[in-house]
Chain A
Amino acid sequence: MHQEIIQQLKKLNAIEPDAEFVRRSRNHIVSMKNEPAFAFPSFSFFPRLSLVGAFVFAGLLLAIFYPFSFSSNQTFSALSAKAINREFDNLSINMQLNEIKFDQNAHQTIAAAIMEITDMKTQHLSSQILESENVGMTIDETGNQIDELLNQVIN
């Protein structure tokens, strides 16, 4: 049955476009100018073109970034083991120097404090000042009462 259907379908092959339409349509299309969008001599040229393009691009990148390559040495030196070791050595020396400086400051401060205590001329330890301060002080009655009460408790 399928063969019979296929034979029927094949008869539709007789459908043809109108001759006048074909003539008009063909003339119109063929008269249209059609320039290739971008004319290359042949397809085999494409791989070569892309290779040349890659080299040109690489050269361009090199030309742009080469002047910066000197300054970049500084950045990369931070990653070398020797430079890191040298930096650590300097670090310990710096720490020791800081400690010495701190010790010196501490010693000076302590010495100054001792001097101040032992110095009788120091104002806040002067007996004359203490006496004058004592005179100025007023002892109220409540204080006397407290003293009496305390004495009673002791006795």
Chain B
Amino acid sequence: MKDEILLVQKAKNGDNKAFGDLYDYYLPKIYRFIFLKIGGRKQDAEDISHHVFTQAWENMSKFEFQGFPFGSWLYRIASNAVIDYYRTFKNHFDIDETAQETLARDSGFENRIDTAFDIELAKTAISKLEHDQQNVVIMKFIDELSTKEIAQALGKTEGAIRVIQHRALKQIKSHIDASRNNPTIKEA
């Protein structure tokens, strides 16, 4: 992001307009990350996203630049917020069901995507991954962060991120292959 360091510095000094600019740039990425992490529950994704940016704004004075984008810090807050979300709603949540409900509700989303079936398949495959694998896949291939940024956001080494990424893609492939060979597996 252009002028990110300057904007962050201004926001640290209480400049809400500067924080508004950071919000505009990062909200779609953070929202997408949360949306996919919680299986596409739109309302909850909005609530968590709002909470993440409120937390960030309230704690701006604690943020220190360490050679990584401001977004790494936001992803870390978002990741923790999702963990808290699962702790709270663990027993009242069906990931596949809610993903389909969301697609049905958000008709515009399907219209924008030509291959809706494949998208749905990819979403389901992501939901089957482990927590760290989901983080890496979303950050790397959907939000297009660098391996270095992901490592910073998740508090892991770049080598560990590559290993997680490799295993995640392998697992997604096996899930997609199985779904194509047996379409009923998607609903399972």
Residues of B within 8 A of A18 (CB): 42, 46
Give complex CA distance A38, B35 in Å. 35
Residues of A within 8 A of B60 (CB): 34, 36
Judged by a CB distance under 8 angstroms, whether B75 is at the interface is no
Q: Are B31 and A36 in contact (CB under 8 A)?
A: no
Q: Are A37 and B61 in contact (CB under 8 A)?
A: yes
Which listed segment binds A: B10-18, B84-92, B147-155? B10-18
Residues of A within 8 A of B57 (CB): 29, 32, 34
Residues of B within 8 A of A36 (CB): 12-14, 60-61
Q: Are B122 and A8 in contact (CB under 8 A)?
A: yes
Main SS at interface, chain A: helix
Q: Are A15 and B36 in contact (CB under 8 A)?
A: yes
Chain A interface size, under 10 / 10 to 19 / 20 to 34 / 35 or more:
20 to 34
Contact A11 to B113, CB < 8 A, known contacts A18-B42, A30-B16, A36-B13 = yes
Q: Are B61 and A22 in contact (CB under 8 A)?
A: no
Our pick among A5, A11, A30, A33 for the contact of B20 (Cβ within 8 Å) is: A30
Q: Are B115 and A5 in contact (CB under 8 A)?
A: no
Our pick among B23, B32, B50, B62 for the contact of A12 (Cβ within 8 Å) is: B32
Q: Are B19 and A9 in contact (CB under 8 A)?
A: no
